[in-house]
Amino acid sequence: MEEKLFWIGLLVGLHYYLTRVFTEKKKFASERFFRAWHAVFVALMAFIAALLLIVTVDNRSGDVVTSSLFSARQVLYGAAAALAGFAWGWWRRPAGQPGTVIKGDLDWSETVFSAVLLASVVMYLFVQAFKIPSGSMRTTFVEGDHLFVNKMLYGLRLPYTGKKLLAFKKPGRLDIVVFQFPSSDPSEIQCGGPQYGKDFIKRVVGLPGETVELRDGAVFINGAPLAEEAYVQYTDGFRYPPAPGVQRAAYQAYWEKGMLGKMYSDHVRDNFGPVTVPAGSYLVMGDNRDRSCDSRYWGPVPASLIKGRAWFTYWPPSRMSVPE
């Protein structure tokens, strides 16, 4: 969302800049040019409003997966609103002198530009709101919980580079992290559907270089059992047997390529590994172990895709808390 707001802010900034240029060149002395440019302003505001509305709806439903900044559907809705806005702005001449009307348009452009750009910077670098979409983290989080994510802790992300600066710390074991799903293929099916570009929330279990294994649901790190996981919930009374007859080297390769869930389904849920977490990556799992599609199924999460650590739940008020 923050990338979308950034480019929307730049679009409004361009309108603000051109309006200043046209004002200096006295272009608005022409009634026709004045009406056309005011109509452009109305079209731009309508485009932004419609685009943000449909993006918000798509994000909440989780149905739209695209490798581009905006989906064709989102742009189509925005374009339709822009055409309607342009027609309305052209045929309904605003009251007042051209200079006064254009000054009002300029003030609105400056306000929207500043607000949108500031919001995108804050969301990208510092803190972001996140809504829990599923029950995979029960009972730490439940469906519909709203929380803030600390995006500074693991470093400031440089846009479109996958690099981070000024990291205060690296993700640690048991940290609850929000990350972009590790897939480069928008058509890839994982966890019952396409997950490309979506944000997930899970708990870090395996660190880079560690060997992780599950035996009948119990987690082992480098051959030693992990301390009691008080936050974990098991809902099934049975354990799936391990995947049959897979050599360790092949198992590791399948896991790193995100193929285990596709090949062995729930046979990796309770008896998994052993696998070695690659350098610069993490193994994550949901607290609701029997109802979580996580690293057991689709592989490790590169550090570059981790956006931040869960900070605190702010909604609903009855569930306000700092996660453990």
Residues forming the active site: 136, 202
Q: Rounded to 10 degrees, what is the CA torsion of 84, 90, 91, 94?
A: 110
Rg of the chain (C-alpha set): 25
Residue 205: other Cβ atoms inside 10 A = 23
Give one DSSP letter per residue of 91-132, joined into a string.
HSPPSS-HHHHHHHHHHHHHHHHHHHHHHHHHHHHTEEEEE-
| Cα separation, 250 vs 230, whole angstroms | 33
Q: Return the closest-CA partner of residue 267 out of 245, 247, 291, 243.
A: 243
Residue 26: other Cβ atoms inside 10 A = 9
Token pair, residue 8, equals 């929307």
- Cα–Cα distance list, 13 to 16, 21, 70, 98, 211 (Å): 5, 12, 19, 21, 50
Residue 154: other Cβ atoms inside 10 A = 21
Task: Enumerate residues 6+ apart whose C-beta is below 8 A from 263.
Answer: 243, 254
